[in-house]
Structure 1
């Protein structure tokens, strides 16, 4: 919950139950890249972003959405991050994400703890325990507390994208294309997503998309399969992880069968309405292409 009093004092309780306060709404936000790109779609521009251990010295553009990278500093990722580097952008608020347990994703505990002693840190839970809508609502609540105004046109775009995907699914429901979400791991292996564990993929299921579920086995979020077993799932549309640390899909696919429509997929999705609408539109395009082939 957030509160802005008559004296303009700013307060926000994050998903750890910790309340951050400031004399006025913060205006210089440092954010984990996923959070920063989401806030931008909601009307708040961060001054800087940071990455995770998966990221390198440059921002992964698969994760940055429409962030104006020329105007937003990237302070680094992983072991290169320390408190002084994070504070070099002079933030008055840090926005991070967690996959449960309150752990600040992307920052080592020995970095996160002293950081919180010097600047307010808001952590939002993006784990599979929450729905995509619940996560989006929390980001929207934070953005409003920071001064963002609602954008009805963005919500209308999202409503239209959802309705279009429903309509495309309805047309193909008798013979719905099989959709497989995966992260290529090279020419011989893929990490195949378990759809129920991913809030964004659960949205697709709710809208009627036929997502392929790998067999039960090791791996809570992913099932790691060799190339033959991956394509034995007979995907007709592939949602392919496009983050920089994923292998190229063509490396995995090689000369496998006929071309399959591919949707670029960021497993660290952005929760703003325009970004989500864009993704749903790409899925609808791919389903139409699959049935036209």
Structure 2
């Protein structure tokens, strides 16, 4: 069930949980990634919270347009005070899930004690990027967002720009996605584990696999491995907790750098911005 009818409001999240409310939720509290996506789609949250990676202040890389819209940030979700959540009088909490079982950034118990339903939408590699964006569009529509979904044409144009730029750059433009873990350590992304990276590969971008080793989403290793892979372009984790990739012996000299937020808001507009920035560098 999705939307509002004679029996009230309902929505099935990506854990298979059937959520119900007497009427369409008007006051939404969300994980910052989900909240930024909803804002792009026409639904403004009353507040957002962060993950365990986040601090007391919002991460600019993850904030999207939330700060400009005046949406309050509550700090990390695991430390969210139950009374503070209750004071916001939420009708719905929106989180993400990577395993299809549990919300990522907020324990269910506080929401349950406040008596508010919690929707968790998948952002893992069990869905394609288009499917992930589509599910957020469905939730936004159920919450009263305008139709059609904003930004769809922009994403199509950005994907076309990536396809053209990747074809012009050719096989020699080797692209590596990574998250800096300090002066010694780096986390190298496995492209198939990230829906947006898998989509870029489908558009012709030559993404490098870091090779065998532990880790489903990342291979954690030394910077020398990144150097050995000889990327011509690096997508680097731009979130506040990741260290910058610049430094002696970390990357090949002259490698182009493009910021990448592994928690891009799942909206057409947000992914269009990222794809356009990559296309512009590929086209140089």
TM interval, short-chain normalised: over 0.9
Q: Kindly tell me: are residues 287 and 274 of structure 1, through their superposed partners in 2, closer, same or farther at Cα, counting changes over 3 Å?
A: same
Aligned Cα root-mean-square deviation (Å): 1.8
1:88 to partner: Cα distance: 3.0
Q: Kindly tell me: are residues 81 and 209 of structure 1, through their superposed partners in 2, closer, same or farther at Cα, counting changes over 3 Å?
A: same
1:32 to partner: Cα distance: 0.4
TM-score when normalising by structure 2 = 0.94
Aligned mates of 2:21, 2:13 — CA distance in 1: 14
1:114 to partner: Cα distance: 4.0
Q: Which residue of 2 aligns with 1:232?
A: 228
Equivalent residue for 2:130, pick from 133, 155, 159: 133
Q: Kindly tell me: are residues 270 and 164 of structure 1, through their superposed partners in 2, closer, same or farther at Cα, counting changes over 3 Å?
A: same
**Pairing 1:147–2:144 present:** yes
Structure 2 runs not aligned, ≥5 long: none
Q: Which residue of 2 aligns with 1:244?
A: 240
Aligned mates of 2:12, 2:251 — CA distance in 1: 50
Q: Which residue of 2 aligns with 1:11?
A: 10
Structure 1 runs not aligned, ≥5 long: none
Aligned mates of 1:47, 1:152 — CA distance in 2: 21
| CA deviation vs aligned residue, 1:2-61 (integer Å, no higher than 9, x gap) | 1321x4821111112212222221111100011000111111111100011111001111
Q: Which residue of 2 aligns with 1:25?
A: 24
Report SS of the residue matched to 1:100.
Answer: coil
Aligned mates of 1:217, 1:255 — CA distance in 2: 20
Q: Which residue of 1 aligns with 2:279?
A: 284
Task: Tell me the number of residue pairs that the alignment of Structure 1 and Structure 2 aligns.
Answer: 283
Q: Which residue of 2 aligns with 1:223?
A: 219
1:68 to partner: Cα distance: 3.5
Report SS of the residue matched to 2:207.
Answer: coil
| CA deviation vs aligned residue, 1:195-240 (integer Å, no higher than 9, x gap) | 0111111010010100000111111111112121211100111100
TM-score when normalising by structure 1 = 0.91
Aligned mates of 1:119, 1:230 — CA distance in 2: 45
CA contact (8 A) 1:169 1:176 kept: no
